[in-house]
Structure 1
Amino acid sequence: MVWDLATPFVIDLNVGEDDIDGLGHANNAVYVTWLERCAWRHSQQLGLDLTEYRRLDRAMAVVRHEIDYLASAYQDDELQLATWIVDWDQRLKMTRRFQLKRPSDGVTLLRAQTTFVCIELSTGKPKRMPAEFIEGYAPALQTAAS
């Protein structure tokens, strides 16, 4: 598979019956769910799961999605969604890019960018990233830059 950037983190997806809207293709809200799933799985793979977020009283919360829907997905399509951490100030903000492809024909269905801000879970207010976030996310940024 050829991706927009090198060394992506990739998850496999299958478009189910419940993902389809009245127009016969995957509903746009489903794509947002897939973006969240991919970001979470990548964070988990980096050692930053929900348990760790709670222990640290910190989380990366979405503040902005930018999504370009390029082609439709249909029931039973097998898809791959890739993500990269492309920008990160190591204080508050992080930006991920995403690319959704259908391997059967190589078509890119979606490109997206999501901006996250580190928050304190107990207050919901922006709060500086703990050292564990910096250590955990750093390898992914290095990979995206390579």
Structure 2
Amino acid sequence: MARSDAWDIDVPYYIELDVAADDIDRLEHVNNSVYLKYLERAAWHHTEALGLTWDSYRELDAACVVHRHELDYLQPAVFGDTLQVATWITQNDGRLAMWRAFQIRRKSDGRTVFRARTHYVCIRLSNGRPRRMPQLFVDAYRPAPGANPGGNDRSGN
């Protein structure tokens, strides 16, 4: 089992987010639906860091859309926490689909509060139908060095 204060891979891409009052539910922790917003934000930042933009997607008439999420809520995050939302590509078949892993840590103590995997499929923007992944996507969305294709590394997931 992984140490809860360690990243699941050696050098993940991550962003930092401050938990806002609007993120909190009646149980006084981050609502489960808000984590999906965090994942989307980190994925887009990572995509842009890899050199792809929304304009790239439109020019290629291609996008990667969510097919499946696997989510593990490990500890509560609360108002005022600063979260480090990490993401990396674990698998890309070079044709239609890829997997992206996520790990969220609380900055103050380094504890992992959340892990996820998301399966994406490539579609044609103009009609929403599946399409072969453009070579630019294949090249940009390469699995991270040391990534575990079956899940988050060191997490036991």
Q: Distance in 2 between matches of 1:47 and 1:53?
A: 11
- The CA deviation at 1:144 is 4.6
Q: Give the distance between the partners of 1:120 and 1:86, measured in 2 at CA.
A: 23
Q: Tell me the SS of whatever aligns to 1:90.
A: coil
1:143 equivalent in structure 2 = 145
The answer on whether the counterparts of 1:72 and 1:109 sit within 8 Å (CA) in structure 2 is yes
Mapped contact 2:86–2:102 kept (Cα < 8 A): yes
Partner of 1:127: 131
SS in 1 for 2:102: strand
Tell me, yes or no, if the aligned pair for 1:8 and 1:144 is still in contact at 8 Å.
Answer: no
The TM-score, its normalising length taken from structure 1, stands at 0.94
Q: Distance in 1 between matches of 2:71 and 2:104?
A: 11
Q: How far did 1:142 drift?
A: 4.3
Aligned to 2:43: 39
Q: Which amino acid aligns with 2:28?
A: G
Where structure 1 has 5 or more consecutive residues not aligned to the other structure, the ranges are none
Match of 1:23 in 2: 27
* CA pair 64-19 structure 1, distance change in 2 beyond 3 A: same
Looking at structure 1, the residues matched to 28 and 15 of structure 2 have their Cα atoms a distance apart, in angstroms, of 24
More helix by share: 1
Q: Which runs of 4 or more aligned residues in structure 1 lie more than 6 Å from their structure 2 counterparts after TM superposition?
A: none
The percentage of aligned residue pairs carrying the same residue is 51
User: What number of residue pairs does the alignment pair up?
Assistant: 144
**AA partner of residue 29 (structure 1):** S
* CA distance in structure 2 between the partners assigned to 1:107 and 1:22 by the alignment: 23
Q: What's the C-alpha RMSD, in Å, of the aligned pairs?
A: 1.4
In the alignment, is residue 68 of structure 1 matched against residue 77 of structure 2? no
Q: 2:86: which partner in 1?
A: 82
Q: Which residue of 2 aligns with 1:48?
A: 52
- The structure whose residues are more often strand, as a share, is 1
TM-score normalised over the length of structure 2: 0.87
1:99 to 97, 103, 112: 103
